[in-house]
Structure 1
Amino acid sequence: MKIFALLLFILSSLLGDRVLKIATYNVENLFDLSNTKYRYKEYKPNTKSLWNKKNYRIKLKNIAKVIKDIDADIIALQEIGSIQALKDLKLEIKKQGLYYKYLDIADRKNTSIKVAILSKVPFRYSKDLQVRAGYKYRNILETKFTIDSHNFYIFTNHWKAKSGPESMRVVSAKKLRQRILEIGEDKNIVLVGDFNSDYEEYIKFKRKRKHNDTYGKTGINHVLKTLEIGNNNFYNLWYDTQEENRYSYIFRGKKEALDNIIVSPSLRNTKDVSYINGSIRNFDEKYLFKKKKIYRWQMTRGKIKKHKGKGYSDHLPVVAKFLFKS
C-alpha cells in the first residue's frame, strides 16, 4: 500500500495533479495566558498550578514541533482555548520553519475549548455550525475550499467525551448529518476530529451501560452511516490500514481510535478528487511515547495540579492524503 501511494504521488506530480495531506490533532488544552472564566482551574494563569509564560511557551513549542513534522497542507485542531492561542501556535510553527497563512476557530460560543483549522491553501469560507445553544455541546467548524476548481468541505468535530452517554454524541452527529444533507451527500466531504467514538463504536460501547442509552444506536456508525462499507456510505478511513495501527489514544493500556477521518462516497472513486488508498496513518513518532504510553502534557497529581513543562498531548495526530486532478 505504501509503495503504491508513493508511486501515485510521483505520477501525480508529473501530470500536474495536486496531492494534499490532511491531518487532525487534539492538542490537549492549549490555553493562552489571558484570565478569562471559560477555562479549567489548572489553566488559570500565574497561580499555584504554574500555568505561566514559561510553561505556555514550552507547550506551544512542543505542539508546534509535532505539527511541523506532520507538515500537512490542512490540519484540524481540537482543544484550542482561544483565537489568541491559535495565533500564538501559528507563530511558533512559523518560527520552526512551517507557515500556515490561513486559520479559523469555532469561537461563536464561549466553551472552554474549541475546534480550529490551520491551512496552507485558502478557503472560500469557514463558519461555526452550532449543535445546540447550551454549553454542553461544542460547535463544529465547517470549512469550504475550492482547489483546482473542485469544491471540498472539511468539518472539524469534537464530540462529547465518554464522561457523557451516547445520546449526547448522537445530538452532534444529527446536526452534522443535517448539514451534510443540505450540502449534498454526493459532494466532496471530509469529517475529521475527536469524535470520542471508535470506528466500530456500535460494538464496543455495548459493554458500558452508562454509555448505551440509545438502544444500541451510535452517532458515528448509525447517524453518519459508517456502519457498512459500501459505495453509498460514508467511509471511515481506519478500515484502510492494519487493525493494530487503528488507534490515536491509549486508555488504561488499551488502544482506542477516538480521532477519525471519514469521507463521503465521492472521495472513494478515482475521478476528480479522491482519497489516496493506503495513506491513512496515525502519527506515531517515537518522541510522542514514553514507557509505552502516549507522552501527554505532564501535570502533578493531588489537590492542586501543577504543570511540569513536559510532554505533548494525550492524543496522536491522524493523517491522510487526497488527490486533486488538474
Structure 2
Amino acid sequence: MKRALLLALFLATLLTGAEVKIATYNVENLFDLTYSGHEYEEYIPNSSWQWNSDTYRKKLKNIARVIADIKPDIIALQEIESLQALKDLKAQIQREGHYFPYYAIATAKETTVKVALLSKHPLQTQELRVTASYQYRNIIEAKVQLGSEKLYIFVNHWKSKSGPESMRITSAKALKQRLNTLGDVNYVLLGDFNSDYIENVTFSKKRKLNNTDGITGINHILKTTAHNEAVTYDDLKGCTNCAFNLWYELPKKQRWSHKYRGRGEGLDSIIIAPKLADGKGLEYVRGSFQKFDAPYLFKKDAINRWERSRKYPKHHTGRGYSDHLPIYAEFSY
C-alpha cells in the first residue's frame, strides 16, 4: 500500500510539475558577535549600544520568523555581515520549522555587509565582482537545476542613494555583461537594487542623483524599459534583450517594499528573463508575485523596523524586524 501511494504521488508530480518559491529580503544589518573592525559603530559587539548575545538572539529570531512564514524554497538576503551570521540565521530558521540545506555568501570582498543565499536546492555559485572598490558589493551568481532546466539567480545589493546613479549603473553594467555572456537562459535578478522600479521617472529631477542624463541602471541597462516605456509580460514573448520587473503584477498602490519619509519605494525587485515566459519548461507563474506584508511587520503606517533607542545612551531595544519588506514569486518546472 505504501509503495503504491508513493508511486501515485510520483506520477502526479510528473503530470502536474512542481513549483519553487523564490524570495528576497533585506534583513537590515545582521551582524555577528565577533569584532572584525569593519562593523558600523552601533554593531560593535558588547559596546554601549548593547549589541550583545541577547539582542543578537532576538534579531535572529525575528528575521527567522519572517522567513519561516514565507516558506520559500530559495531566498536571497542582503545586509549579512558574515558566514557566521548566515549560519546562525539558518539554524534559527530551522528551529522555526523551515530547513535550508544549502547556502552561499559573497565573502571574496570584505565589505561591511554582504549578499547571501539560502536554498532547499543544490547550488553552484560564484561571485561577480563589480569593481575592486569597497564601495561596490559583489553579486552572487547561483545556478540551480530545476527539473530538466537550469535557472541562474543573481543576488544584488547596489549602492545606496548616498551615491549618484552612475554608481548603480556600474553594478548594472557588470551584471548585464554577464547576462550577455550567458545568452538565452532562464535567469532571475533579485535583491535590493536601491532603485525604484520606475527609477527613470522618480529620480530624473533629483540633481544629486541624476548625473547620467536620465539613464538608470535598473531601467535602461537591465532593459526593463524599452523606448522609455515599461516592458510588460507580453513584451517578453517578442524580445530577447529585455526583462520584466514583477512589480507590475501588483496594483500601483502596492508597489513598494520600503518607505522613505513616508513615501513607498520599490527598492527591492524580482526581474525575470524572456525565457521564463516562453511557455516551455521552466516558467514564471503569472500572478504569484507578492509582497510579504504580515500585520506584525508594521507599526501603524510605518514598517516595524529593527529598533534602536534615540534616548541616551543610544542602544538596541531588541524589537522590530527590518526597514524592508520581503517579496517573492513562484516558478513552475
TM-score bracket for this pair, using the shorter chain length: over 0.9
Distance 1:288 1:174 in 2: 34
Aligned residue in 2 for 1:137? 136
TM-score normalised by length of structure 2 = 0.91
Structure 1 SS opposite 2:204? helix
CA distance in 2, matches of 1:302, 1:258: 30
Across the aligned residues of Structure 1 and Structure 2, the Cα RMSD in angstroms comes to 1.2
* CA distance in 2: counterparts of 1:66 and 1:218, whole angstroms: 31
Task: Give the counterpart letter for 2:86 in structure 1.
Answer: L
Counterparts of 1:298 and 1:138 in 2: how far apart (Å)? Answer: 25
Work out the CA distance in 1 between the residues paired with 2:253 and 2:283.
25
| Whole-angstrom CA distance in 1 between matches of 2:92 and 2:253 | 33
Report matched runs for 1:28-67 at 5 Å.
28-67=28-67
The DSSP-based 3-state class of the residue aligned with 1:92 is helix
Q: How does 1:256-271 map to 2 (within 5 A)?
A: 256-271=265-280
Give me the whole-angstrom Cα distance separating, in 1, the residues matched to 2:250 and 2:219: 18
Of 208, 223, 226, the residue aligned with 1:225 is 223
1:237 aligns to 2:236 (yes or no): no
**Aligned residue in 1 for 2:104:** 104
For residues 133-175 of structure 1, give each alpha carbon's deviation from its aligned partner in whole angstroms, at most 9, with x where no partner exists: 0100000000001111201100000000011100000000000
For 1:283, the equivalent position in structure 2 comes to 292
**Residue number in structure 1 paired with 2:212:** 214
Q: Give the equivalent residue in structure 1 for 2:302.
A: 293
TM-fit CA distance, 1:304 = 5.4
| Cα drift, residue 13 of structure 1 | 5.2
Gaps of 5+ in 2: 1-11
- Superposed CA deviations along residues 235-260 of structure 1, whole A, max 9, x for unmatched, are 10111111111110011111100000
Alignment of 1:319 with 2:328, yes or no, is yes
Spell out, residue by residue over 1:243-281, the C-alpha distance to the aligned partner (whole angstroms, 9 max, x if none).
111110011111100000000111122210111111111
**Poorly superposed stretches of 4+, deviation over 4 Å:** none
Structure exhibiting the larger radius of gyration computed from Cα positions: 2
Distance 2:312 2:75 in 1: 35
Match of 2:198 in 1: 200
Name the CA distance, whole Å, in 1 between partners of 2:292 and 2:186.
Answer: 24
SS of residue in 2 equivalent to 1:68: helix
Residue 122, structure 1, aligned to residue 122, structure 2: yes
- Separation of aligned partners in 1, 2:16 and 2:100: 23
Letter in 2 for 1:241: L
- Report the Cα distance in structure 1 between the residues aligned to 2:56 and 2:312, rounded to whole angstroms: 21
User: Match of 1:17, as an amino acid?
Assistant: G
Cα shift at 1:35: 0.6
What count of residue pairs does the alignment treat as equivalent? 311
Q: Tell me the residue number matched to 2:90.
A: 90
- Between the aligned partners of 1:31 and 1:268, the Cα distance in structure 2 is 38
Q: 1:302: how far off?
A: 6.0
Alignment CA distance shift 1:136-1:35 (3 Å): same
Q: Which whole-Å deviations, capped at 9, do the CAs of 1:269-325 have from their partners, x for residues lacking one?
A: 22101111111111001000001100000002267531010000000000100011x
C-alpha distance in structure 2 between counterparts of 1:302 and 1:34, whole Å: 26
Given that residues 245 and 281 in structure 1 are in contact (C-alpha distance below 8 angstroms), is that contact kept between their aligned partners in structure 2?
no
One-letter amino acid matched to 2:219: N
Aligned-pair distance for 1:15? 2.0
